[in-house]
Amino acid sequence: MTQRVALITGAGGSIGSSAAVALASAGFAVAVNDIDAAAAERTVQTIRAMGGAARAYVADVGGSSAVDGMVQAIEEQQGRLGVLVNNAGNPGRFSLLLDLSDEVWNTTLQVHLSGAFFLIRACARRMVLQRWGRIINIASLAGVQGTIGSAEYGAAKAGLINLTKTAAKELGPYGVTVNAIAPGMVATPANLALQAKGSRFIDSAVQGMPHARLVEPAEIGALVAYLSGDAAASINGSLIPIDGAAGVSLTTDHYMRGSLSSRSAFLKEN
């Protein structure tokens, strides 16, 4: 059997590289996308050092023609795409919506939501022909509940969750499943650096998790690998939280309300 190919966007980053490594360990050839060439190359080298197959594809997922060109190139160079993980994008910029600029709103929706749509469309057009595919969208707890300071990011992720459910219904008849994962606060290098500096924002997130720690990127990678397998054929249109029960907590909101209100340019001027 030819090796199935998995495309992970933003796979130079923390969660994306964990997903890429988990999929390589599960036997997939990996297409490593990132806008940052050096970051993508690091993940490629990690996978090759494990004995896996990987290639880097540098593209901005926010551009429709760049996405179409990348998917075409992957098919020519690595073979038919079986798995798509929509992961690219930076966590939010954190401001009250009173202070939110058009630019931040538009860019965030372009990358997190339009980018995911461009990729789903391009990959699904191929997956339906082979009657098999797995699409996994990395959403966020912020897309499930309103989150103070994350209006643009939460709206983009909420859109991604709804897109997941529609895509699952439309593509399910062709053997293609579409699911979303909603992580809580993750132990990425950026968040760990903040934690080491004594960040009260990170502390507030940890306080909201009964197991009192951040989510490990590898925990997300393991779920991505499971959802990508044949055993997960009946999991479709699902939103799976990995948040240590932070979804029942409001500690981060309490912290953000105080912190962002005191920094708000709009409130200072009015």
Ligand X SMILES: NC(=O)c1ccc[n+]([C@@H]2O[C@H](COP(=O)([O-])OP(=O)(O)OC[C@H]3O[C@@H](n4cnc5c(N)ncnc54)[C@H](O)[C@@H]3O)[C@@H](O)[C@H]2O)c1
Q: Which residues bind ligand X (CB under 6 A)?
A: 9-10, 12-16, 33-36, 39, 60-62, 87-91, 111, 138, 140, 183, 185-186, 188, 191
Of 112 and 126, which CB lies nearer to ligand X in the complex structure?
A: 112
Q: Report, in Å, the least distance between residue 230 CB and ligand X.
A: 25
Report the distance separating Cα 138 and Cα 147, nearest Å.
17
Angle at 163 between CA 158 and CA 164, to 5 degrees: 95
- The alpha carbon of 67 is separated from its chain's Cα centroid by a whole number of angstroms, namely 16
42: CB partners within 8 A, 6+ apart = 12, 17
Question: How many whole angstroms separate alpha carbon 213 and alpha carbon 7?
Answer: 29
CB of 221 to ligand X, least distance (A): 11
226 labelled catalytic? no
Nearest to 217 by CA among 255, 184, 253: 184
- Identify the three-state secondary structure at position 5: strand
Residue nearest to ligand X (CB): 13
Report, in Å, the least distance between residue 182 CB and ligand X: 7
With a CB cutoff of 8 Å and minimum separation 6, the contacts of 113 are 156, 159, 160, 163
Q: Which candidate in 153, 174, 226, 255 is catalytic?
A: 153
CB of 165 to ligand X, least distance (A): 18
Query: Using CA atoms, how far apart are residues 167 and 128, in angstroms rounded to an integer?
Result: 12
Residues, the chain, total?
A: 270
Q: State the amino acid at position 133 in one-letter form.
A: G
CA 242 from chain center: how many Å?
Answer: 12
| Closest distance of CB 16 from ligand X, Å | 6
The residues, any chain, with a CB within 8 Å of residue 34's CB and separated by 6 or more, are 9, 10, 11, 12, 13, 16, 40, 43, 56, 58, 88
Active site residues: 153
